[in-house]
Amino acid sequence: MTNVNLGRRDVLKLAAGAALAAPAIARADGPRVLRFVPQANLSSLDAVAGTQYVVRNAATMVWETLYGVDSTFTAQPQMCEGHEVSADFKTWTFKLRPGLTFHDGSAVTTRDVLASLQRWMVRDTMGQVIHGRLDALEAIDDRSFRFRLNKPFTKMLFALGKSNAPMALIMPERIAKTDPFQLIKEYVGSGPMRFRADEWVPGSRAVFEQFAGYKPREEKADWLAGGRHMLFDRIEWQILPDPATAGAALQSGEVDWWELPIPDLVPLLKRNKDIVVDILDPLGNLGSLRMNHLYPPFNDPRARHALLMAVSQTDYMEAVCGGDDSLWQETASFFTPGTALFTEDGGGQLKGPRNYDAAKKLLAESGYNGEKVILMVATDISITKAEGDVTADVLGKIGMNVDYQALDWGTVGARRSKKDPPGKGGWNIFHTWHAGADCINPAAYTALDAGGAKAWFGWPNSPAVEEGIVAWYDAADAAAEKAAAAAINRAAFEDVVYIPTGFFRQYQAWRGNLTGVVKSPFPVFWGVQKT
């Protein structure tokens, strides 16, 4: 007798695949309305207090920054007309461009800018560096202001214009005075779209409406830089938590753009001639195996190296991306492949055949004696689930006693911040991933920070990495930045800050009648139109 196992995923495929054969009753509204299915629920809208990517993506429509990075990672003037900088990089003077207006009709002034920057500097890593060097942040008049620093800072424009959260978004002064650790309660920006708070149904729908008072720059749009010409009256974000429903809705034309189709459905979507499937984020993601450096066994570098020589990026990436080899590559680097600072210096131990015997020997030398290793796995996220399963297998192969704890991301997200011993509510290993856009340099790369107790979860302590980060901040030219990155990469592997589990990218899918969709690490809505 043959057993037929019809799993949930098979049913998903069946349901979504059916749309290939038939038209559907409902179509997305006319060409002036875009219906977009974001990667996650938009549960809040403060990209300064929070660093969720989905919040950042929505915020780029509602708010603007003084500068904005383009596709070469160069910061270009956005809200600013321009700037002047002293020869010693200690005094930065900026002037706002005329005609900037908030959605409530009030003019953008330096009072709003200063309050916004003060709030941002508390939360952002680069902002904190600026704050540490700050003598004064002062208004000259309603349109001009300046930073006076006690130490040179060459990366000011990138800091003000980067796309990584927390972004230096400019809000009205009354809103910007909100405690940086509390969410704002009013969503008033000066960007090309107004947030319709009255139509917001968290978990279901968020609506953005074109702001008539917005005056785009004249330059061609390029990521966060240039003129943000909105060709839609309304952009409706529809939260569709069920991937089969989202896939079917896209195929039937009920929605126009799906930001994160699951790999299972991509082959079906690709076969639909009305749908375009492509990788839009060229910077992808870096998988991460994070160890707790505070407690045995991974407080001993030999135990961390044992794991480093046992794990296989191929195994991780095949588990994450399925059979689509075009989506991933191995990388012995903490930096994003294809970007200026990418280097594999010091990453040799992550390459080549895996050596379980050597790993076992090193583990024994570290003093490991069969103690439980708590592996927290967020099973509600396919990436962390896949990576967690691979890690459990590897740990078993090198003789570790694995305590596999299947949790949801909400629990992992909270528990990873606990510094308690693993047996008392703490942990030994968890998985996550970092957006490639955050790993192009040390600025927004909190996971690379190795300052011990103040570092990111796992609390690695590597003075050599910290020195490298300082060297990058102080680098005067590209060559010096590259040298600093190479030093950081070597030190990060030497001290095994974390283990990169590979570089992977993800598809997006949209209806063929959408034009102007560009490759970017975040969805760019300006310049897109529907025919």
- Residues forming contacts to another protein in the complex (CB under 8 A) are 8, 11-12, 14-15, 18-19, 21-26, 41, 43-44, 49-53, 55, 123, 164-166, 179, 181-183, 185, 200-205, 238-242, 244-245, 248-249, 252, 254, 380, 407-411, 413-419, 432, 434, 438, 444, 446, 454-457
Minimal distance, residue 427 CB to another protein, in Å:
12
Phi-psi group of 354: left, alpha or beta (phi > 0 → left; psi -120 to 50 → alpha; rest → beta) = beta
Q: Give residue 399's region: left, alpha or beta (phi > 0; psi -120 to 50).
A: left
- Length of the chain measured in residues: 531
Kindly tell me which of 205 and 519 has the beta carbon lying closer to another protein: 205
At its nearest, how many Å lie between another protein and the CB of residue 468? Answer: 19
Output 112 or 124, the one with its CB closest to another protein: 124
Residue linked to tokens 């929070």: 50
Q: Give the rounded distance of the alpha carbon of 172 from its chain centre.
A: 26
Q: How far apart are CA 351 and CA 357, in angstroms?
A: 16
Nearer to another protein, 56 or 95 (CB): 56
> Nearest approach, Cβ of 287 to another protein (angstroms)?
13
Specify the residue, 392 or 455, whose C-beta has the smaller distance to another protein.
455
Residue 339 has a CB neighbour count (10 Å cut-off) of 17
**Least gap, CB of 171 to another protein (angstroms):** 15
User: Minimum Å distance from CB 318 to another protein?
Assistant: 24
Q: Which is nearer to another protein, 215 or 418 (CB)?
A: 418
Smallest distance, another protein to C-beta of residue 22, A: 5
Whole-number Å distance between alpha carbons of 227 and 76: 11
Cβ closest to another protein, residue 56 vs residue 103:
56
Going by C-alpha positions, the residue among 336, 487, 455, 320 that lies closest to residue 389 is 320
Nearer to another protein, 446 or 513 (CB): 446
Q: At what angle do helices 382-397 and 301-310 cross, to 10 degrees?
A: 110
Of 408, 387, 381, 378, the C-alpha closest to 243 is 381
CA distance 78 to 98: 11
CA distances from 516 to 278, 392, 530 (A): 13, 44, 9
Cα(215)–Cα(191) distance, integer angstroms: 9
Tokens linked to 353: 């055949």
Q: Residues 109, 170: contact at Cβ < 8 Å?
A: no
Sign of CA dihedral 21, 23, 24, 25: negative
Q: How far is the CB of 139 from another protein (least distance, A)?
A: 28
Minimum CB separation of residue 501 from another protein in Å reads 16
C-beta of 44 vs 93, nearer to another protein: 44
